[in-house]
Amino acid sequence: MAASGRKESLAEALNSKPACVTSVNKLGNHLIHTAVLNGQTEIVKLIVKSLFEVDALNNQKKTPLHLAIATGNPEMVSLLLDLNSSTDITDDSEMMPIHLAAE
């Protein structure tokens, strides 16, 4: 029940303050990048549901899918693919997500 309440509170915050979704840290990571790096699948779902771009780029031109693969999180990779994350975006090293998966 407590987790459900936190999820609802986060959903309200995302809807009432959309700037929190689009703000970036010094690495250029948006909230969605941070949620992916921390394995927060439910938060990723909420962010995308609030119409945030699932393929947001950070300073290294990495998408959340790049980060999910790099951190070895198959559940997050699956979620991002289900959310129609692009598989053909190259980062600043000219790496597509599939290249990272092959490493």
pLDDT at 7 exceeding the cut of 70:
no
Q: State the number of CA atoms in the 13 A half-sphere of 7 facing the CB.
A: 12
Overall number of domains in the chain: 1
Q: What is the pLDDT of residue 95?
A: 96
CA–CA gap between residue 92 and residue 62 (Å, rounded): 8
CA–CA gap between residue 90 and residue 30 (Å, rounded): 18
Q: What is the pLDDT of residue 4?
A: 56
Determine the structural domain holding residue 67 and report its residue range: 2-102
Write out pLDDT tens, residues 37-84: 999 998 899 888 876 789 999 999 999 999 999 999 999 999 999 999
CATH number at residue 35: 1.25.40.20
Q: What is the pLDDT of residue 3?
A: 52
> Which pTM does this prediction carry?
0.76
Q: What is the pLDDT of residue 18?
A: 67
